[in-house]
Structure 1
Amino acid sequence: MVADPPVVEATGVTKRFGSTVALHEAAIRIDRGQTHALVGRNGAGKSTLVSVLTGLQAPDAGVVTFGGERAPRLADRDAWRRRVACVYQRSTIIPELTVAENLFLNRHDRGRGGLIRWGTVRRKARELLDTWSVDVDVRVLAGDLDVERRQFLEIARALSFGARFIILDEPTAQLDGAAIARLFTRIEDLQRQGVTFLFISHHLQEVYEICDTVTVFRDARHVLTSAVGDLPRAELIAAMTGGAAGAGAARRGPSAEAPTVLDVSGASLRGSYTDVSFHVRAGEVVGLAGAANSGRVEVAETVAGLRAATAGTVEVDGSRPVPGSVPAALRAGVGFVPQDRHRQGYVAQMSIADNGTLTIPDRLGPAGLIDGRRRDGFARSMIEKLAIKAPGPELPVSGLSGGNQQKVVMARALANDPKLLVLINPTAGVDVRSKEFLLGKVEEVAESGSGVLIASDELDDLRLCDRVLVVFQGRVVAEIPRGWHDHQLVAAMEGVDLDG
């Protein structure tokens, strides 16, 4: 009996951009019905491989086949859409259009005179979504959908072209635990209907939860492919990083005499959180844990000046910044790493130097004028301290990998020597090595005497905290000291009483 050819196979793929080798004789084989993980550090070649597998880039050498047949010409976009689709971390849905319009963009049924038959478009959209069990109103604007439903919409759109091979690029980066569970259920349902997935994630626990096979890339090369169940986590991390994973040293924590640098008292924000009170001492790392809609993000954004509490007070180092004012928070001594680096963290076409010094223009020259040499000197120091991989400070941030972009955001947050560093999901969508580096930098900041507030649902972000405050449905429901077990914290985040 002849085995089915793989859904997609790449062999000997090499791709160069100038002197940079993005892929070197790379290979991957994905069999029908699999959920196949692709993992590796930023710069390992994952994004370049995706661009080759989706026909956005032609390899300099090597072969790509779909079902045993050579890949189409790059110009034949319809042929590529019938074979493969990618749901990217940043949505490609057009928010100003309805769900139906997004599903059949440029494929509308037309009647006499070329007029679009909107009733037919909406009917076909409903039939398509029903076929793939996607519960979304086809008449609503796509911009009104949450991240989870936008992803389901993109998957349904891909399937409507005939593709049965879907690449999911960091699909869980902006989802809470419940939404991730629903996504995994949908993936399993679609697998049973003959859909194959390539799953790209920096969260290795997700690889073990949902994937059958894992392929590791490192330094532009294929390192290994293994059944997930046969590969211990330590070996997977070693393959990704080129060395064994080691445990971090325990932090000393704040001294007993450390002063309070953040005091939140009775703070409330209508529709987000109610009567929240806590403090952070100098040298202390405090976590705010909770699901995506728990209110933890809104609390952190209030401290950083992005939101104004409707009741209660926020004091930073003994002063009360103007509520809802980022400049006032900066003057009070707050450094901030926002939730979404793409939308809130940097200006993509501006240079590393300009992005990294946005919060300190007064240090770069007299009378509001910026001395370019002083700015670039500061940026070079920042590049060195945060190990940003870039040829120089003039490079636009858009030219960096995700991990290095996040380092630029961190550098900007640290530029004003903050007394309090506030971070929201600081390692979302970055590779393992960058994640370890960023969390190590947070520890350095605390050891230097600054207070740190981390709002996250990522357990690895919270492990370095001296204590974790659990936010559930807008209220702080628990305070958990260092040394917690995963099941204990997750249960509190989900509102589950393990003793009940």
Structure 2
Amino acid sequence: MQSDISPQPPLLEVSNICKQFGSVVALDKVSFDIRAGEVHALVGENGAGKSTLLAIMNGLQRPDRGEMRLDGTALALDGPAAARGHGVVLVHQELALCPNMTVAENIFLGNEPRSRLGNIDTAQMEERARQLLSAMHVAIDCRAQVSSLGLSQQQLVEICKALASKPRVLILDEPTASLTSEHVDTLLAMLDRLRSAGLGIVYVSHRLEEVLRVADRITVLRDGKSVAHFGAHGTTPEQLVQAMVGRELGERFAPRRANAPGALLLEVDGLGAKGRFSDVSLDLREGEIVGIAGLLGCERESVIRALFGLQRVDKGEIRIGGVMRRLTTPRRAIACGLAYLPADRKAEGLVPAMSVHDNLALTTLRRITRAGLVSRRRRDLLSRGLIERLAIKARDPNRGVVNLSGGNQQKVVLGKWLARDARLFVVEEPTRGVDVGGKPQIWEALQSVTDEGKGILLVSSELPELMALCDRIVVMSRGRVTGHFARADFDAEAIAHCAVSAVNAI
């Protein structure tokens, strides 16, 4: 529910910001402001200029022209520390946690409470961390190592870390991209409380229904310009989409082109990993997309990582093409024809500093290597074919893949496995951080994979996405399978009921 914003001076103003990288104009006279006690959303397709604008607001980049003002005073930032010192804190979409430190240590990193002797007061730090986590209504042990947490839990820790510095302006970049619906509700309720306490919140998200639910005002960026401003009340997702892309989009999800199921590609029977999941059974046929649904903590991510040799199992069988396999390492999984598209594509799916050409060729180095050296001609021939096939938008494929939008990065991850001719694709959160214009391209790419007789095991936190793309859905709760649904029986309420079903502890 949006609050009524009374006319008052802006807390933070961004005025006529311009930024250019070489011949590319990233921002062209962008202006908007944020008031105390409101949520101002920024929306736009990938490449619209949102990331550059956030980098300037956080001191990571300096504008070529224009200025920012805090409480009416010009604000010049020479880095994130300066921004934080003025009470402007950015929570990045990409996590910046120390995996080998505890949750409490991460939350107060660089801001640790001290005893009278100057030592870190661990007891006070952990107590304050517990209070923050409690306010988020999330049961995370503040003494747990971050490396032991799932991606969704790590995102919540990242947000608590920002709140620990008591910001005046909180900038959230895709904060719910890796959260399940239950924790989206928790986060949005927290934002209501922070807004009531007078915090100014800049909210960046591709989830337009979510934006309309939480925002007071919305600014739309397109091609580096602020092209529209909306009050959230009475605005529709269709209006936002049209402003974002400059055209109307058709149906949100294209109808699934059903394929006649072929031979069994994958059979999982009674798979278990002590302390994580137990008695998981499912199968996948050629030409199918089978989804795995469930809430945060259901351990579906552990199951698919086990299939790719990233999680040890102690029970059950895995058969690929009817042959029992022990997938103890990713190398063995790849040799058996498996491909893995992880949720955190930048950390696990790509080498960001390497070029688009090199990332697309990563799985086929032996094919393009002669006398121990990679043949650039063979590499470029391979990658250009994939760029054309997947409609990857890359101005210069020789530049780092980090320069691509989220949707195009995801296509690169998919492309490197298509280059190897994998048969069984394990795909986790395929449209995480992808804009509304890019999502249909990802969905169509996945459809094309099954049209070739390959199979996809798909994990997504968005139930509508699963129901639109999948032929069957397996539901998990607390480490066990609690439901199987054929496409004709898809029902959101029934699937959600299975996702919260009580099961015996592992």
- TM-score with structure 1 setting the length: 0.88
Superimposed CA distance per residue, residues 358-403 of structure 1 (whole angstroms, 9 cap, x where no aligned partner): 2222321357653221012211222222222323332222333322
Shifted more, 279-288 versus 484-493: the winner is: 484-493
Q: How does 1:34-433 map to 2 (within 5 A)?
A: 34-74=38-78, 77-78=81-82, 81-96=85-100, 99=104, 103=108, 105=110, 116-119=118-121, 123=124, 126=127, 130=131, 134=135, 146-159=153-166, 163-247=167-251, 248-255=253-260, 258-366=262-370, 369-433=373-437
Shifted more, 86-95 versus 447-456: the winner is: 86-95
Q: 1:425 to 1:401 in 2, by over 3 A?
A: same
What is the alpha-carbon distance in structure 2 between the residues aligned to residue 249 and residue 134 of structure 1? 40
Q: 1:9 to 1:485 in 2, by over 3 A?
A: farther
Shifted more, 36-45 versus 294-303: the winner is: 294-303
Q: 1:203 to 1:142 in 2, by over 3 A?
A: same
- Amino acid in the other structure paired with 2:478: Q
What is the alpha-carbon distance in structure 1 between the residues aligned to residue 114 and residue 106 of structure 2? 11
Work out the number of aligned pairs and report it: 488
Superimposed CA distance per residue, residues 314-364 of structure 1 (whole angstroms, 9 cap, x where no aligned partner): 222233333222222222222221121122111222222222222222321
> Offset at 1:283?
0.9
- Residue 495 (1) aligns with residue 497 (2): no
Q: 1:140 to 1:293 in 2, by over 3 A?
A: closer
What is the alpha-carbon distance in structure 2 between the residues aligned to residue 318 and residue 207 of structure 1? 47
Is the partner of 1:118 in helix, strand or coil? coil
Q: 1:365 to 1:196 in 2, by over 3 A?
A: same
**2:133 touches 2:160 (CA, 8 Å); kept in 1?**
no
Superimposed CA distance per residue, residues 376-432 of structure 1 (whole angstroms, 9 cap, x where no aligned partner): 221122222222232333222233332222221111122212222210111111222
> Offset at 1:274?
1.8
Superimposed CA distance per residue, residues 223-267 of structure 1 (whole angstroms, 9 cap, x where no aligned partner): 2121223211122222222221212442332216x2111122222
- Amino acid in the other structure paired with 1:346: L
What is the alpha-carbon distance in structure 2 between the residues aligned to residue 422 and residue 76 of structure 1? 37
> Offset at 1:286?
0.9
Percent identity, please.
Answer: 34
**1:37 touches 1:213 (CA, 8 Å); kept in 2?**
yes
**2:293 touches 2:475 (CA, 8 Å); kept in 1?**
yes
Is the partner of 1:410 in helix, strand or coil? helix
What is the alpha-carbon distance in structure 2 between the residues aligned to residue 140 and residue 314 of structure 1? 31
Is the partner of 1:376 in helix, strand or coil? helix
> Offset at 1:149?
4.5
What is the alpha-carbon distance in structure 2 between the residues aligned to residue 489 and residue 132 of structure 1? 29
Q: 1:179 to 1:495 in 2, by over 3 A?
A: same
Aligned to 2:32: 28
> Offset at 1:101?
7.7
- Amino acid in the other structure paired with 1:205: E
- Amino acid in the other structure paired with 1:178: E
What is the alpha-carbon distance in structure 2 between the residues aligned to residue 107 and residue 419 of structure 1? 49
**1:91 touches 1:151 (CA, 8 Å); kept in 2?**
yes
Is the partner of 1:360 in helix, strand or coil? helix
- Amino acid in the other structure paired with 2:160: L
What is the alpha-carbon distance in structure 2 between the residues aligned to residue 177 and residue 94 of structure 1? 26
What is the alpha-carbon distance in structure 1 between the residues aligned to residue 105 and residue 260 of structure 2? 59
Q: 1:295 to 1:60 in 2, by over 3 A?
A: same
Superimposed CA distance per residue, residues 50-79 of structure 1 (whole angstroms, 9 cap, x where no aligned partner): 112223222222232222222235379546
- Amino acid in the other structure paired with 2:194: L
Shifted more, 247-256 versus 416-425: the winner is: 247-256
Measured on the aligned residues, the alpha-carbon RMSD in Å equals 2.9
Q: 1:56 to 1:184 in 2, by over 3 A?
A: same
What is the alpha-carbon distance in structure 2 between the residues aligned to residue 339 and residue 180 of structure 1? 17
What is the alpha-carbon distance in structure 1 between the residues aligned to residue 83 and residue 245 of structure 2? 37
**2:359 touches 2:412 (CA, 8 Å); kept in 1?**
yes
Is the partner of 1:12 in helix, strand or coil? strand
What is the alpha-carbon distance in structure 1 between the residues aligned to residue 267 and residue 333 of structure 2? 13
**1:87 touches 1:151 (CA, 8 Å); kept in 2?**
yes
Q: 1:332 to 1:229 in 2, by over 3 A?
A: same
- The structure 2 residue matched to 1:16, chosen from 8, 12, 20, is 20
Q: 1:293 to 1:61 in 2, by over 3 A?
A: same
Is the partner of 1:328 in helix, strand or coil? helix
- Amino acid in the other structure paired with 2:208: L
What is the alpha-carbon distance in structure 2 between the residues aligned to residue 410 and residue 306 of structure 1? 19
Structure 2: 5+ residue runs without aligned partners?
Answer: 1-5
Structure 1: 5+ residue runs without aligned partners?
Answer: none
Is the partner of 2:386 in helix, strand or coil? helix
> Offset at 1:442?
0.2
**2:276 touches 2:479 (CA, 8 Å); kept in 1?**
yes
What is the alpha-carbon distance in structure 2 between the residues aligned to residue 299 and residue 332 of structure 1? 17
Is the partner of 1:432 in helix, strand or coil? coil
> Offset at 1:21?
0.6
Superimposed CA distance per residue, residues 5-38 of structure 1 (whole angstroms, 9 cap, x where no aligned partner): 1122222221101111111111222222111211
> Offset at 1:109?
5.4
What is the alpha-carbon distance in structure 2 between the residues aligned to residue 472 and residue 466 of structure 1? 20
Q: 1:267 to 1:405 in 2, by over 3 A?
A: same
Superimposed CA distance per residue, residues 260-310 of structure 1 (whole angstroms, 9 cap, x where no aligned partner): 111222222222222222221111111111123212212222223323432
Q: 1:240 to 1:485 in 2, by over 3 A?
A: farther
> Offset at 1:91?
3.1
Is the partner of 1:433 in helix, strand or coil? coil
Q: 1:422 to 1:129 in 2, by over 3 A?
A: closer
- Amino acid in the other structure paired with 1:331: A
What is the alpha-carbon distance in structure 1 between the residues aligned to residue 198 and residue 297 of structure 2? 33
What is the alpha-carbon distance in structure 2 between the residues aligned to residue 144 and residue 477 of structure 1? 25
